[in-house]
Amino acid sequence: YDDRDGKIWMDGVLVDWRAANVHILSHALHYASSVFEGERAYNGRIFRSTDHSERLLNSGRLLEMDIPWSAAEIDRAKEQVLAANGLSDAYIRAIAFRGVGEEMGVASLGNPVRLAIAAWEWGAYYGAAREEGARLDMAKWRRPSPETIPSEAKAAGLYMICTMSKHAALARGCSDALMLDYRGYVAEATGANIFFVREGEVHTPLADCFLNGITRQTVLQLLRDMQVRVHERHILPDELDSFEQCWLTGTAAEVTPVRQIGRWHFEPGEMSRRVAAEYHRLVRA
């Protein structure tokens, strides 16, 4: 993805896409000291832009990484990137990371914290599954305890097991993997949160050890507005049998129905369709 035209914002300036490089001895590359955001713009407007900028700053704080920009400056930089690339419907990726210091090692006291922002056109995350319903595999890896890693952060280190889980799922013909948490409760997919429906009520895992997605929060509000009863709680995989519908939420995934998780089957039903339609209406409003 490095050989194309366009501009990427790096540390306050727009640079050519092909020149947006970092040195091989950057701390982030060796020790996963980076935090990032995924956002979407619809009709030229970034959905919940400031919430994403603030989450980025907060992820940095959780890693004791002081990002030298304010949320308002980050918001403006994202606008600049969209304009420079002539984009109106796009995916935006901001990444803050520890660069190169005086010494090379685990400690990163003098290394600058750098920020880069890129944007590009990106269609449906799960492709045709957005209409047909995604098939998920059960992941072998579990979301770690919040005492093991700052699990609230959108930090690179948390994605190592996501990539491995997703590769295993793709090799089995699935779109993604469902990860359990360290206690064995249903947690999330590798880049999206999960919701279930039973007898007209919604059940979703309590976000106490994984990313409480901005799309998840948006969808919870939509459900409240629709007067749907929602249970945020611990869900055991044994319960998957009892759910009729299931969908995933995420900036990239938007609202994608799920038709299968391992041996369990779901109907992309009425509630999934309504939530997806309401979400699409809202992001373009």
Q: Which residues bind ligand PMP (CB under 6 A)?
A: 38, 154, 188, 191-193, 211, 213-216, 249-251
140 is catalytic: no
> Which CB, 111 or 193, lies closer to ligand PMP?
193
| 258: phi then psi, degrees, rounded to nearest 5 | -115, 130
Residue nearest ligand PMP by beta-carbon distance: 213
Show the tokens assigned to 102.
């005086």
Angle between helices 214-225 and 49-62 (to 10 degrees): 130
Rounded to 5°, the CA angle 90-93-96 comes to 160
> Which CB, 100 or 137, lies closer to ligand PMP?
137
Q: Residue 232: what residue type?
A: E
Q: How far is the CB of 15 from ligand PMP (least distance, A)?
A: 25
CA distance 38 to 48: 11
Q: Which of 7, 78, 140, 154 is catalytic?
A: 154
Distant-in-sequence, close-in-space partners of 71: CB < 8 Å, separation ≥ 6: 50, 53, 54, 57
> Which CB, 39 or 82, lies closer to ligand PMP?
39
Q: How far is the CB of 126 from ligand PMP (least distance, A)?
A: 13
Q: How far is the CB of 116 from ligand PMP (least distance, A)?
A: 17
**Dihedral Cα 128, 275, 214, 266, nearest 10 deg:** -60
> Which CB, 137 or 188, lies closer to ligand PMP?
188
Q: How many CA atoms lie within 13 A of 179 on its CB side?
A: 27
Q: How far is the CB of 189 from ligand PMP (least distance, A)?
A: 7
Q: Residue 79: what residue type?
A: E
Active site residues: 154
